[in-house]
Structure 1
Amino acid sequence: MKKRMVKKFLFLTIAGIINAIGVTMFLAPMNLYDSGISGTSILFSQITPPFYSLSMFLIILNVPLFLYGLKKKGSLFTFSAIYTVLIYSLVAFLINDVLPIDVSFASPLAGQDLLLCAMFGGLISGIGSGLAIRSGGAMDGIEVLSVIFAKKIGISVGIFVMIYNIILYVICGIILDNWILPLYSIVAYTVALRAVDFLVEGIDRSKAAMIIVDTEHTKNICSVLSKEFENGITILDGKGFYSGDRKEVIYLVLNRFQITRMKEIVCEIDRNAYITITEIADVFSK
């Protein structure tokens, strides 16, 4: 347990550092906006006196939201999320105000190229956010807001976050009287979203196959599939609703390269087999 917790907070620390690099070295110097509370913090830091820094707004806006969601998300998640945001804020402060890195008017690595800053800023901050989520924390309090309020107003969590970001980018465009930067921010948001998906769910998600067959074919199909793929297979009892005939359901998890061969094997043995395939994000097995 102790080793797991050390590993957890090590990865949360790395996540906070990565996210800070993406935001402070690519997005913020070019007045591009991250998504959620992070993007809101960037906007506030731009329209308020210099004393109110990005790091300050990250803490002021995020920490109360995580504490507000304490009952719904649990103490471990809340502490992990606050810890990650503090690391993010600390590294952002170091980059902006302590280290000899000039991020006042351009990215130290991508210059003033808006597309490069949007793409790499989104990619790097997305990797940080995805690593935080995968490690049991969070980088942004918008997740808490979405969990609490999305269901109350009858929309999904994803839609809630998307609406929040659209409103944020529209407000940024109105305040700045410039729509180019908000549009590039949408590019950054899209890239970040894909990076989060990659970190959280993996680039090649597994496929779960459920094969409904007549009982006389079950043993033969399972034998061939087991020999072909060397995978575990589960057999479930089933019954046709209209026919009342007894069926058996074969359940197994494959990768995408094995799906076509699985279909061929099943159809060769039972032409009447009914196959459904669903994508799954994670597989846990010893």
Structure 2
Amino acid sequence: MKGVKVRITELKDYLLITVGSFITAISINVFMVPYKIAPGGISGVATVIYYLSDEKVPVGTAMLILNIPLFLMGIKLIGKKFIIKTLYGTALLSVLIDAMQPFTDYFVENYLASTESHRYTPDILLYSIFGGLLMGMGLGLVFRSGATTGGTDLAARIVNHVVPAFTIGQTLLFIDTSIIVFAAFVFKSVQLALYAMVTLYISSKVIDAILEGVNFAKALLIISDYPEEIASTILRDLDRGVTALKGKGMFTGSDKEVLFCVVQRRQIPMVKKIVRQIDKKAFIVLTDIREVLGEGFKTYE
């Protein structure tokens, strides 16, 4: 039974990689390459190569070639399961980009670059926004499966292994920014670089939303001289659990009970009203929570 569940989970992961790669390929072919938007990553480098080469080296092929040395260098840094999924995602994305190009080129030419009666100047800002949304959705699904599509995230892991002083996030930001600047020099356009930054920012936010959830909740820490009354009122009126943590006021030296509670954002005004009515001198700390698993919130997958 356990083996069957593992296989089903693996199948779901590869389905996510497939769907995610398909969506990412659409974003690159429809919104990125035709308008010279290179939002970092290997796809950004491949876009530059595509326009620099006389023979128009296919973007997918260039991405696959660029990823090969990264895999050879990083194969010792990542686990077997991760490398297999990442190889699948990388190869599939490259194949899809090249295989879908004739169809996406037709779509761009007939639906994005023209109207029924006349041609118009494309709204590149609009395309950079929607390109970022689609790319974020696609990559988010791939990352959620525990894989990547290779590229700069793998390069960042390698650099972090060699130079631990820089985090993976810092290294990734530096690499992607460098690629955007490089593309700006090649295309001789600061405007295109700004569009690429918009795409990169939006895609990163969408990836975060897919990986960490979008149903934000709020965590509260409440310090009061009337913890039991506040806790019982929250439990009764809001049907939310409250946990008492042991604390000590370092200024007064007195022991305190710190109440910890997680509520929906819409319930914040009610919590404030409850605390204010019971103890106007209470101290409340609010913080955002990206995802909550458990009773009353999101169920475990």
Query: What range is the shorter-chain TM-score in?
Result: 0.7 to 0.9
Residues 172-187 of structure 1 mapped to structure 2, 5 A cutoff: 172-187=183-198
Corresponding residue number in structure 2 for 1:50? 55
Matches of 1:168 and 1:44 in 2, distance apart?
Answer: 12
Paired with 1:33 and 1:66, the residues of 2 have a C-alpha distance of 22
Q: Which residue of 2 aligns with 1:9?
A: 14
How far did residue 155 of structure 1 move? 4.9
Question: Whole-Å Cα distance in 2 between the matches of residues 235 and 164 of structure 1?
Answer: 45
Measure the CA separation in 2 of the matches of 1:182 and 1:103. 26
Partner residue of 1:24?
Answer: 29
What's the CA shift string for 1:7-61, capped at 9, x where partnerless? 2221121111100000011211122213222212222233235373211222233
TM-score of the two chains, using structure 1 as the length reference = 0.85
Q: Distance in 2 between matches of 1:73 and 1:228?
A: 49
Structure 1's 231 and 63: CA in aligned 2 closer, same or farther, altered over 3 A?
Answer: farther
Map residues 1-286 of structure 1 onto 2, 5 A cutoff: 1-50=6-55, 52-65=57-70, 68-70=73-75, 72-96=77-101, 99-102=102-105, 106=108, 109-111=111-113, 112-149=122-159, 152=163, 154-214=165-225, 217-285=226-294
Q: Report deviation, 1:251.
A: 1.2
SS of residue matched to 2:105:
coil
Note the aligned Cα RMSD (angstroms).
2.6
Change (3 A) 1:157 1:267: farther
Structure 2 distance, partners of 1:117, 1:136, is: 29
Aligned residues of 1:26 and 1:110 also touching (Cα < 8 A): no
CA distance in structure 2 between the aligned counterparts of 1:41 and 1:85, rounded to whole angstroms: 14
SS where residue 138 of structure 1 aligns? coil
Instruction: Give the CA deviation at 1:68.
Output: 4.0
CA contact (8 A) 2:37 2:193 kept: yes
Are the aligned partners of 1:239 and 1:246 in contact in 2 as well (CA < 8 Å)?
Answer: yes
Structure 2 portions without partners, runs of 5+: 1-5, 114-121
CA contact (8 A) 1:29 1:107 kept: no
Alpha-carbon separation, structure 1, partners of 2:245 and 2:76: 38
Residue 72 of structure 1 deviates from its aligned partner by 4.9
Work out the number of aligned pairs and report it.
Answer: 281
Normalising by structure 2, report the TM-score. Answer: 0.82
